[in-house]
């Protein structure tokens, strides 16, 4: 089986760098879908509608994107039924051949980090059986707790042929409060980036990139240039394109000369380009995915 | 109803600063409990045993601790059934009068942070109904994404009379990799601590402490002294006592002269002081809780 970085490279070569973020908000779902489940109790109604919508979105965007990124928070908000929906969407995304990124930004001390990593990748070992949980291809990780907290995620990713995307320079406007503080002549995000380069070093695949990636926001073009130069073998997950204001031009610096090196996420821009009562919502999603894909491939 | 900091102060005045961490690992559960559910399929077996164990632990430690801290990772590892167990344990802890800290270390950009915060506190708004999710009294938050990412948690906590504990100086050995980098003459953890003081400033209760707390490891006594002095009105959640090596003496600096200001977590030390096959496991948990409580009150 191909390594994680090579599976990502295949997806990008086949369908371009677009990653579709799945952030389902109840209020934004198509009225037509919400109405189908109107008779269910609230939690089940929301979970059923989110699953229905999510499965449809996966099919609509499949021709235009090889990577999908469910955002754990919007499933957690629906409680245990929501987590079941997250699980079912990840299974379906895998069946459809997507590379999956579970965007959960996990991070904790070693023993706890191992539990989060097992939930994401290997599953839970119960007596002599392994129970899969999210079974994602990759997971986003928060580095604030330091090396010994990230290491269990790195070990688990390598052991199961999966990948990580470590938060380096996030896309939000206030990201600089701590990430841009300068220590020993370098901003924090660069210190984190250099740690990612170390963790990534022994995971390089045929494509020349490794399994331990970095999250670098499209909204910070200068840092994208700087980090691409500093981390030549690291896959970037680039949020902030579209709804958050990042443009295709801002992102150009994230790619290597061979066109690989970055997957560019769009969530709301691709999955919610319609008003809930719009009967043509599916056509709008298809067109938004087609347009984003074309823009990012040009 | 009392504010979050005043409920925490009440709990500490009545039962001392011990916070019991609930980190259930299948392999460590009493054999006697695991055997009860032996005929269930693995995921249900593990979830049922964890719930059984967790409910028993809550009753056993209630005389010695007023605060409990379930660690989300160990429930997430059991998938949706595990998240249901987390929900049931939080409901039971609330019924028993514990102040609850959901240790999930959430952190994300604004719209996503709001979803995590609603899951923790207000619940999900589905049409005209609100569906409670974790309904915790407080949540641990990771600050790496910056001010606009923490702000939705602060807003949600204030709106619902709940609290936060923001990671400042974590207890793990490698925490210093980024947290101790010195910028503008101050380590990162102190920059974060000062942000916590700002977020906390307008939330001060009758007890003189606020709703936006800080996580400061017992394993770093010098930083505890420094941060207590810098953040006089901030509640500290102090992990690292017991199994991780922090002593009651190390922690003394975390308290204010009035004895308030810190809750001290022990997870494995209190909840797993036995071998799985030990028939007297309940007596061991009771004794471990009594001993930790007495040590921390002395």
CA distances from residue A242 to A248, A288, B184 in whole angstroms, order as listed? 9, 10, 35
Place of tokens 């974790």: B134
Domain positions in chain A: 4-297
- What's the predicted TM-score (pTM) here? 0.98
CA distances from residue A57 to A102, A240, A243, A265, B223 in whole angstroms, order as listed? 16, 20, 18, 15, 49
**Mean pLDDT calculated for residue range B50-78:** 98
| Interface mutation target, options B82, B110, B115, B132, chain A, most CBs of A under 10 Å | B115
**A chain contacts of residue B182, beta-carbon cutoff 8 Å:** 183-184
Residue B253 in 3-state DSSP? Answer: helix
CA separation for the pair B296, B298 (Å, rounded) = 6
CB atoms under 10 Å from CB of B128, counted, come to: 6
Q: Does B218 touch chain A (CB under 8 A)?
A: no
Residue A245 is predicted with a pLDDT of 84
Q: Does B40 touch chain A (CB under 8 A)?
A: no
Residue B100 in 3-state DSSP? Answer: strand
Q: How far is A239 from chain B (nearest CA, A)?
A: 11
**A chain contacts of residue B113, beta-carbon cutoff 8 Å:** 73
Residue B178 is predicted with a pLDDT of 94
CATH 3.20.20.70 fits A4-297, yes or no: yes
Told to judge if B284 belongs to the known catalytic residues of this protein, a careful annotator would answer no
Q: Side-chain half-sphere of B83: how many Cα atoms within 13 Å? A: 26
Q: Does A119 touch chain B (CB under 8 A)?
A: yes
pLDDT band for position B58 (cuts 50, 70, 90): very high
Residue A244, pLDDT > 90, answer no
**Mean pLDDT calculated for residue range A204-230:** 95
Contacts of A210 (CB under 8 A, 6+ apart): A5, A200, A201, A202, A203, A204, A233, A234, A235
Q: In what order do the strands lie in the sheet with B182-183?
A: A186-187, A182-183, B182-183, B186-187
Nearest to B50 by CA among B58, B286, A119, A156: B58
Residue A298, pLDDT > 90, answer no
Residue B40 in 3-state DSSP? Answer: coil
Q: Does B83 touch chain A (CB under 8 A)?
A: yes
Residue A246 is predicted with a pLDDT of 87
Residue A179 is predicted with a pLDDT of 94
User: Who among B76, B111, B172 is closest to A148 (CB)?
Assistant: B172
Q: What percent of chain A lies above the pLDDT cut of 90?
A: 94
A161-193 pLDDT, tens digit each: 999 999 999 999 999 999 999 999 999 999 999
Task: State ipTM.
Answer: 0.97
Residue B22 in 3-state DSSP? Answer: strand
Q: Tokens standing for B10? A: 């009440």
CA distances from residue A18 to A21, A227, A238, B17, B51 in whole angstroms, order as listed? 10, 20, 10, 50, 42
Q: Mean pLDDT across chain A, nearest whole number?
A: 96
pLDDT band for position B246 (cuts 50, 70, 90): confident
Q: Does A267 touch chain B (CB under 8 A)?
A: no
CA separation for the pair A137, A116 (Å, rounded) = 14
A103-119 pLDDT, tens digit each: 999 999 999 999 999 99
**Mean pLDDT calculated for residue range A212-235:** 95
Q: How far is B155 from chain A (nearest CA, A)?
A: 16
**Mean pLDDT calculated for residue range B118-131:** 96
Contacts of A218 (CB under 8 A, 6+ apart): A171, A224, A238, A239, A240, A241, A244, A246, A247, A250, A251, A254, A264
Please classify residue A125 by burial: count the beta carbons closer than 10 Å to its beta carbon, then call 0-12 exposed, 13-18 middle and 19+ buried. Answer: middle
CB atoms under 10 Å from CB of A96, counted, come to: 15
| Interface mutation target, options A111, A168, A216, A245, chain B, most CBs of B under 10 Å | A111
Residue B1 is predicted with a pLDDT of 79
| Interface mutation target, options A25, A82, A88, A105, chain B, most CBs of B under 10 Å | A105
**Mean pLDDT calculated for residue range A188-213:** 97
Q: What percent of chain A lies above the pLDDT cut of 70?
A: 100
Residue B243, pLDDT > 80, answer no
Contacts of B297 (CB under 8 A, 6+ apart): B16, B17
Q: Does B135 touch chain A (CB under 8 A)?
A: no
**B chain contacts of residue A172, beta-carbon cutoff 8 Å:** 109-110, 145-146, 148-149
Q: Does B23 touch chain A (CB under 8 A)?
A: yes
Which helix (DSSP H) or strand (DSSP E) does residue B141 occupy? Answer: strand B138-141
Q: Which residues, numbered 156 to 215 in chain B, qualify as contacts with chain A under a Cβ-Cβ cut-off of 8 Å?
A: 167, 170-179, 181-184, 188, 191-192, 195
Q: Tokens standing for A212? A: 């331990």
Residue B2, pLDDT > 80, answer yes
Residue B84 is predicted with a pLDDT of 98
Please list the active-site residues of A.
105
The more confidently predicted of residues B240 and B196 is B196
A264-278 pLDDT, tens digit each: 999 999 999 999 999
Residue A243, pLDDT > 80, answer no
**Mean pLDDT calculated for residue range A75-91:** 98
Q: Does B155 touch chain A (CB under 8 A)?
A: no
Q: How far is A189 from chain B (nearest CA, A)?
A: 10
**Mean pLDDT calculated for residue range B273-288:** 98
Please classify residue B25 by burial: count the beta carbons closer than 10 Å to its beta carbon, then call 0-12 exposed, 13-18 middle and 19+ buried. Answer: middle
- Show the 3-state SS of chain A: CCCHHHHHHHHHHHHCCEEEEECCCHHHCCHHHHHHCCCCCHHHHHHHHHHHHHHHHHHHHCCCCCEEEEEHHHHHCCHHHHHHHHHHHHHHHHHCCCEEEEEEEECCCHHHHHHHHHHHCCCEEECCEEECCCCCCEEEECCCCCHHHHHHHHHHHHHCCCEEEEEEECCCCCCHHHHCCEECCEEHHHHHHHHHHHHHHHHCCCCCCCCEEEEECCCCHHHHHHHHHHCCCCCEEECCECCCCECHHHHHHHCCCCCCCEEEEECHHHHCCCCCCCCCHHHHHHHHHHHHHHHHHC
Residue A242, pLDDT > 90, answer no
Q: Does A118 touch chain B (CB under 8 A)?
A: yes
| DSSP classification of residue B184 | T
Residue A161 is predicted with a pLDDT of 97
Q: Which residues of A129-151 are buried (b: 16+ CB within 10 A; e: fewer)?
A: eebebbbbbbbbbbbbbbbebbe
C-alpha triplet B134, B137, B143: angle, nearest 5°: 90
Q: Tokens standing for B171? A: 């207890």
CB-CB under 8 Å, A115 with B76: yes
**Mean pLDDT calculated for residue range A48-73:** 98
Contacts of B82 (CB under 8 A, 6+ apart): B43, B46, B47, B50, B74, B75, B76
């Amino acid at each position: 089986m191909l390594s994680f970085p090579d599976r990502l490279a295949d997806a990008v070569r086949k369908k371009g760098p677009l990653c579709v973020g799945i952030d389902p908000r109840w209020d934004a779902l198509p009225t037509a879908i919400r109405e189908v489940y109107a008779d269910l109790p609230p939690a089940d109604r929301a979970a059923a509608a989110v699953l229905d919508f999510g499965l449809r979105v996966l099919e609509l965007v499949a021709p235009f994107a090889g990577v999908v990124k469910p955002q754990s928070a919007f499933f957690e908000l629906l409680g245990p039924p929501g987590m079941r929906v997250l699980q079912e969407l990840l299974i379906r995304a895998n069946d459809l051949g997507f590379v999956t990124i579970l965007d959960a930004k996990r991070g904790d001390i070693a023993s706890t980090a191992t539990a989060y990593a097992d939930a994401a990748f290997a599953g839970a070992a119960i007596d002599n059986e392994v129970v899969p949980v999210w079974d994602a291809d990759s997971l986003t990780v928060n580095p604030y707790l330091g090396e010994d907290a990230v290491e269990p995620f790195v070990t688990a990713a390598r052991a199961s042929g999966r990948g990580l995307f470590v938060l380096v320079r996030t896309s939000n406007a206030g990201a600089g409060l701590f990430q841009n503080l300068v220590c020993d002549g370098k901003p924090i995000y660069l210190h984190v980036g250099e740690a990612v380069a170390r963790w990534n070093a022994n995971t390089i695949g045929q494509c020349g990139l490794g399994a331990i990636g970095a999250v670098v926001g499209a909204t910070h073009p200068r840092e994208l240039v700087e980090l691409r130069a500093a981390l030549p073998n690291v896959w970037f997950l680039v949020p902030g394109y579209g709804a958050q204001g990042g443009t295709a031009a801002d992102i150009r610096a994230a790619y290597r000369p061979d066109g690989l090196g970055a997957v560019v996420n769009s969530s709301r821009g691709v999955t919610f380009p319609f008003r809930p009562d719009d009967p043509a919502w599916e056509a709008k999603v298809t067109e938004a995915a087609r347009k984003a894909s074309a823009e990012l491939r040009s």
